[in-house]
Structure 1
């Protein structure tokens, strides 16, 4: 038993403000992954306001340490950039984000939800109202009659993996340690939010000096148990046509080589989620591409034939499972490999709660003698899909007889109207494939919302691993340009391209200015079809008319916007294109530029790719005067009867 005799030794203390202690702590956080050790916090994005400029701002000005400080232009935008940085770095490095109180903090909610849905660690440091409450209500403070303890930052509780409010300096110590435990845990990774009362940021405290010593967060690969491995081997050996669903967890685990070895050795096809795409390059012979609603015909056919679905690091979202109709649930079994117990339990699967890479390596050794019954079917499925991709590459507009990929009720006359207004005959699929074939192979592409994620998952050939960056856990419009900045910070030697629709660009593109300000060259390829084209397709496919999704003036003329002029005003190099030849010339020239670029490309609506053997469960009106909507509801009900219920 240990006990003190006489006077207890005095703990060595250092007197710092709460904000100074925060910055000093961030500089001492390291991560250890696969034998390598490096700082976990690379820097901090900030927009200073009255809530943080005199606290965190003063602390950074006094001694920022190794932290790189980047001035953002919109709180949501800079948080998206921080998230994209972490995602591109495979969750092994982060940027922190600090904001002022009120609107600044509220602007983090969308970004926090995006990071939470994608399981991406990011440290959010919104300022809060006075802990003393003496000057209440301070500028930008909301008031609730039933509780003065509620502030704007409470809105972040629902979209944070960890949330805390610091109202005393000494609370910072336990709060930060808990936040970093969460952010460095592969099973729980997500946004950690620590709200900092603005008066407490400047308040001093005698912190224990040991709190600021180097702290290493070890990310050890969780090994599968013998029970889990034996059970998985038994299930796989009993299957004849298994498939492997490659999710984002496989990418973060860096399981590329293990996936290829297992697939080649036993002739098992790979299909990808949006987060998993480019874990294994598209050119790998057994990679059938995207699964589900935005998937390829080849992947969806293989999924429907599968008697075993091996999910590797996937959340099984509705888009990946076609709202739980992608598989033959009556006859297929599920085997899930995931570091998250929650995700491993999905679809009533046999669970292997372990690291993807080490589990696949073990399974490859234990399955000797096993072979699937696919034989040459994988190659045949891929060949048929590549022919379809070639067809989409060569879609040509014909003013007299053009059949768009998704017709709905869009008439030929309306298509001709768009061709005249936008001065283009360029199809979206042809333009996208042209981009894919023109830019450097190691370039990184990013997108998030609208119809582009579908075209990208189906048509984009990622020939180099980890060059496809899609935010589709939240499908957050406005992520694209901000995220491209974050990726460029993570990959400064590579060309980075935001593929963004005009709707998403209008939603948020302020960090293009930040990219120009800090000489972080990014490329924005803007697909302008004068509207929210994806949702316009959705409403028309389900019986409605084209209602408030096109960008039209009050007199119903198509809105024509010169996006190149907007970006030119910021200082970007810009291009205007409406033909494949002009697009390719612009791409070649943009790659030679040192400043950020924007290609304002006009494309025709209704020229994106359609779904292949997939279905999406939607809330279609049960009662309507429109017969087409009534029929759409009937169709939905019939499909719901076929869907798995849990």
Structure 2
């Protein structure tokens, strides 16, 4: 008879997770090296008890981390997973009802970013013995429906453990998806609170070490040959490098390939760091928030080689950045879903590193023309000069965001990690930040979730520390995102985890304010102002008397306030340098003028403007919008949109 161990379902799950290992070539690490949790009546006697038991009996098996917000738990997991190149992530346990529902945004973010996160939301009684329980959602047309069913469309894997015996197959299936580079994202196992505490004789085999080997598929000969033929005929090829290059650890292969061929590279937000910013072939960000250099070469590119990118509308400037009527797409991606995008007739479904190695062999005698190479060098030099000017201190009492970024850049070290997610900062960082390390740029721009920054930065730092890497993590956050979710600063204080947070105070939503203005909506509802009872809006000049620096102090971290004067930028650089020298978390507060913009990268983003309006501003914006749309490519064919 097979050996068994008497455990509750929660105890069995926690012990199982503690014995899962990811193997990626020569790298072997714990797939789930820790669990975040907030407890309530749904899980305090289940997962909570199991974590306590192992904390006493086997403290290294599944370390527990306390969080302040369920959404933020998942954000931490995503930050951790990114810095571990998707080989490891954290689990997040929440209670029934609101606790579980709070994780929904995090689930969507993980899945959209193709980053693994294990979610363990508690569920109401499987037996329905005390139906309905506190915090239970009831629908008369489906009495079996619970809050957790909302995770179904947000997860790459979803299942519910209705009976203890189901745990084995569900847990193994969940691990397969967590470690599948083509299918990973949010993995959700719903756990009814009564089942969590139920005992079962668990096969010892289920609790032993198990390895999950990450697939690195090589390109098939036929698709590779067709892709090579297209690249060979190219006169103006361009690479669009995405996060897949980072996750595959393919930076060396990419660098060797572009140095041999001379093909220039534009990067998506997720691809920041695939090449050092000063590499001759790196033209920087591409698309709606891209650099002028990358977008100008993209305009005339005849063959676009997408490597590990999901081609979001920002990367393609809403399908307006590629203007060559004969352009074709050679898409290298481990996920066929992404490889076939843009109607590509040349998809290569393969791992980025393996595909680049194969392309380097097949194209070892290919090189772009000297004229095209010189064009890339010239455009890069011109953009570099523009950025230098944008970084130059203006001497204004309230500086613009570009010079703030320049000050933070000047004080940072080459391996420091910049973390951001939403607002105007992602666009400016995509254009301006000079990435010097493959893991040095972490901008969550698939979901672009306000409030991600501090929690995601904490996850990044936690992930680095797990690898013995003590580089600094610099979180840049606007006041809008800070107000959305700043409470994980308490988590950093509780564990003594060092973060550097640069809080850019612009009294509202700078990005949407600018967008609102450009589409004729006059920054309506985007400024933090006192309510005007006469105009019945928030468009007045009286700013809110909110003191975010004082708020941050209340969390227990060090705070530096930069005075609004001509020396603000030099004081900011000095404050970042001092924060780097400290062993404590520091928040630096600086005022910013949201109307001082970064250099134009000649990108566009499709945001529809009303066809009819009584507002002159909207009418004018519609005229501009119709003109911009003429450059938008259809999925197939070459005719511009009507």
TM-score (norm: length of structure 2):
0.93
1:28-51 per-residue CA deviation (whole Å, 9 max, x = no partner) reads 111111123222111000111111
The aligned residue for residue 30 of structure 2 is 39
Q: Is the 8 A contact 2:512 2:523 kept in 1?
A: no
The aligned residue for residue 602 of structure 1 is 591
The aligned residue for residue 110 of structure 2 is 115
The aligned residue for residue 575 of structure 1 is 560
1:441-484 per-residue CA deviation (whole Å, 9 max, x = no partner) reads 21111000000001101000011221100100000000000011
Q: Quick one: which of 452, 467, 470 aligns to 1:479? A: 452
**What secondary structure is seen at the aligned counterpart in 2 of 1:337?**
strand
**What secondary structure is seen at the aligned counterpart in 2 of 1:268?**
coil
Confirm or deny that 1:430 pairs with 2:421.
no
**What secondary structure is seen at the aligned counterpart in 2 of 1:163?**
strand
**What secondary structure is seen at the aligned counterpart in 2 of 1:94?**
coil
The aligned residue for residue 366 of structure 1 is 362
> Structure 1 611/317 Cα, relative in aligned 2: closer, same or farther at 3 Å?
farther
1:148-171 per-residue CA deviation (whole Å, 9 max, x = no partner) reads 111111111111110111111111
Worse-superposed segment, 97-106 or 148-157:
148-157
- Unmatched runs of 5 consecutive residues or more in structure 2: 533-539, 636-642
Aligned-partner Cα distance in 2 for 1:529–1:318: 27
Confirm or deny that 1:57 pairs with 2:48.
yes
1:570-607 per-residue CA deviation (whole Å, 9 max, x = no partner) reads 11111011301211221121112111110011111211
Q: CA deviation at 1:628?
A: 2.5
The aligned residue for residue 378 of structure 1 is 376
Q: CA deviation at 1:11?
A: 3.0
1:323-343 per-residue CA deviation (whole Å, 9 max, x = no partner) reads 001102521111000000000
**What secondary structure is seen at the aligned counterpart in 1 of 2:379?**
helix
Aligned-partner Cα distance in 2 for 1:432–1:560: 26
**What secondary structure is seen at the aligned counterpart in 2 of 1:245?**
strand
Structure 2 counterparts to residues 61-140 of structure 1, below 5 A: 61-64=52-55, 65=58, 66-140=61-135
Q: CA deviation at 1:397?
A: 6.6
Q: Quick one: which of 496, 516, 539 aligns to 1:539? A: 516
Q: Is the 8 A contact 1:576 1:599 kept in 2?
A: yes
Aligned-partner Cα distance in 1 for 2:212–2:523: 53
Q: Quick one: which of 14, 20, 40 aligns to 2:11? A: 20
Aligned-partner Cα distance in 2 for 1:45–1:631: 50
> Structure 1 454/72 Cα, relative in aligned 2: closer, same or farther at 3 Å?
same
Structure 2 counterparts to residues 459-470 of structure 1, below 5 A: 459-470=432-443
Aligned-partner Cα distance in 2 for 1:642–1:436: 35
The aligned residue for residue 270 of structure 1 is 265
Confirm or deny that 1:393 pairs with 2:391.
yes
Aligned-partner Cα distance in 1 for 2:305–2:136: 50
Q: CA deviation at 1:436?
A: 0.4
Structure 2 counterparts to residues 258-337 of structure 1, below 5 A: 258-337=253-332
1:347-385 per-residue CA deviation (whole Å, 9 max, x = no partner) reads 122110001111111111111322212131111011100
The aligned residue for residue 244 of structure 1 is 239
The aligned residue for residue 353 of structure 1 is 349
> Structure 1 618/565 Cα, relative in aligned 2: closer, same or farther at 3 Å?
same
The aligned residue for residue 165 of structure 1 is 160
Aligned-partner Cα distance in 2 for 1:83–1:258: 26
The aligned residue for residue 231 of structure 1 is 226
Q: Is the 8 A contact 2:410 2:573 kept in 1?
A: no
The aligned residue for residue 415 of structure 1 is none
Q: Quick one: which of 415, 434, 444 aligns to 1:442? A: 415
Aligned-partner Cα distance in 2 for 1:537–1:432: 18
1:97-126 per-residue CA deviation (whole Å, 9 max, x = no partner) reads 000011100000000111011001010000
Confirm or deny that 1:512 pairs with 2:510.
no
**What secondary structure is seen at the aligned counterpart in 2 of 1:622?**
coil
- Unmatched runs of 5 consecutive residues or more in structure 1: 1-9, 399-423
1:1-20 per-residue CA deviation (whole Å, 9 max, x = no partner) reads xxxxxxxxx33322211101
Q: CA deviation at 1:610?
A: 5.2
Q: Is the 8 A contact 1:329 1:644 kept in 2?
A: no
The aligned residue for residue 503 of structure 1 is 480
1:479-513 per-residue CA deviation (whole Å, 9 max, x = no partner) reads 00001110111113111111000000000011110
Q: CA deviation at 1:645?
A: 2.7
Q: Between Structure 1 and Structure 2, how many residues are aligned?
A: 612
**What secondary structure is seen at the aligned counterpart in 1 of 2:502?**
strand
Q: Quick one: which of 514, 525, 531 aligns to 1:554? A: 531
Q: Is the 8 A contact 1:78 1:511 kept in 2?
A: no
Q: Quick one: which of 490, 493, 498 aligns to 2:463? A: 490
The aligned residue for residue 537 of structure 2 is none
The aligned residue for residue 412 of structure 1 is none
The aligned residue for residue 334 of structure 2 is 339
Worse-superposed segment, 535-544 or 295-304:
535-544
Aligned-partner Cα distance in 1 for 2:352–2:129: 53
The aligned residue for residue 566 of structure 1 is 551
The aligned residue for residue 499 of structure 2 is 522
Runs of 4+ that moved beyond 3 A: none
The aligned residue for residue 605 of structure 2 is 616
Aligned-partner Cα distance in 1 for 2:462–2:523: 40
